[in-house]
């Protein structure tokens, strides 16, 4: 059970596409609920240009408030996404202990997301990753658009593996594959994660999946079968990359946790706080969210947390 890590990215990937800005105090309340649920990691935000992604303008403040309020002492790790050296500098200054950074395997997506080609971004991210580790901080690197691109279509497997090899050669052992466009299918997920797990059994493999075409949970199960042990998701199924052709939500956290419960895994993580948070977010944004369990309730199951959670 302790081998599987759950990484909540709703406050970053979930909110970055939303036009209605969530106030800082409400974000801090949502962070507290996520900590209460037993989630292992919470991605608080990203250090990006606030003019391009206004929702992330308070990321520095959030990290400082997390420290002031002692939320970091409750067994949860708080992470941040950085895209460039300035973002890393800001993160180090406000006390981030775990950084996420990545490179898109699609040149087109890379240019739209970062203004750099894949090759340019890879060189900079590797240098930033080394700086992060030298500072004694945690690091996860990812290959974005690993399963396809909304602009380019198919992304060759060899292109993804070449980026993974560069990360491994740099000494990075926490690796994530991101289905940024939501193009992945279970067979493809199992094949790609399985190949990397076979080549680098020492690496901790994470998956960041989108539910654009309804295959999110099926792909998460395929990744689990193939050796992935860390799963990124967003409460309520919020999210979507604003720099891809068809933006759609992440795998829903409470649905993922419910699936794991049914498999007798991670039943230490509570569904009820996650469902309540999804309800709160739906009320705030004034619309139904795509997550399922927060509407239907969990399947009752004796001996496991979650039987009796109300929709």
Q: Catalytic amino acids?
A: 241
Q: How many residues does the chain have?
A: 311
Which whole-number Å values give the CA distances from 302 to 30, 111, 307, 309, 311, in the listed order?
29, 50, 7, 13, 18
CA distance 84 to 101: 9
Radius of gyration of the chain (CA): 18
CA distance 252 to 219: 13
CA distance 283 to 260: 27
Q: Burial code of 174-202, b = ≥16 C-beta within 10 A, e = fewer?
A: bbbbbbbbbbbbbebbbebbbbbbeebee
Structure token pair of residue 238: 């919020």
Backbone angles phi, psi at 237, to 5 degrees: 80, 25
302 class by beta-carbon count within 10 Å (0-12 exposed, 13-18 middle, 19+ buried):
exposed
Q: Which residues pair with 250 in a beta bridge?
A: 210
Structure token pair of residue 109: 């997506």
The CB-side HSE value for 110 (13 A sphere, CA atoms) comes to 22
* Beta carbons within 10 angstroms of residue 86's beta carbon: 12
């Amino acid at each position: 059970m302790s081998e599987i890590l759950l990484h909540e990215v709703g406050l970053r990937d979930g909110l970055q596409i939303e036009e209605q800005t969530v106030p800082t105090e409400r974000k801090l309340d949502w962070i507290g609920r996520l900590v209460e649920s037993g989630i292992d990691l919470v991605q608080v935000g990203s250090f990006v240009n606030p003019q391009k992604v206004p929702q992330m303008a308070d990321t520095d403040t959030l990290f400082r408030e997390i420290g002031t309020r002692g939320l970091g002492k409750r067994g949860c790790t708080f992470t941040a996404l950085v895209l460039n050296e300035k973002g890393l500098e800001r993160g180090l200054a406000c006390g981030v202990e775990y950084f996420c950074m990545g490179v898109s395997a699609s040149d087109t997506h890379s240019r739209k997301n970062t203004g750099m080609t894949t090759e340019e971004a890879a060189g900079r991210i590797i240098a930033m990753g080394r700086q992060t580790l030298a500072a004694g901080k945690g690091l996860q690197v990812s290959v974005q658009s690993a399963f396809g691109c909304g602009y380019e279509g198919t992304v060759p497997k060899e292109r993804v593996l070449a980026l993974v090899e560069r990360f491994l050669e740099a000494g990075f052992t926490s690796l994530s594959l991101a289905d940024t466009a939501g193009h992945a299918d279970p067979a493809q997920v199992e094949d790609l994660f399985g190949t990397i797990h076979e080549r680098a059994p020492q690496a901790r493999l994470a998956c960041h999946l989108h539910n654009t075409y309804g295959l999110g949970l099926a792909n998460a199960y395929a990744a689990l079968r193939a050796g992935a042990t860390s799963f990124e998701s967003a409460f309520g199924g919020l999210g979507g990359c604003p720099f891809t052709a068809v933006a759609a939500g992440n795998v829903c956290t409470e649905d993922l946790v419910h699936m794991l419960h049914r498999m007798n895994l991670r039943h230490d993580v509570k569904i009820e706080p996650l469902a309540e948070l999804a309800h709160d977010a739906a009320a705030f944004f004034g619309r139904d969210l795509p997550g399922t369990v927060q509407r239907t309730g969990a399947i009752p199951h004796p001996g496991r947390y979650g039987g009796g959670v109300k929709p």
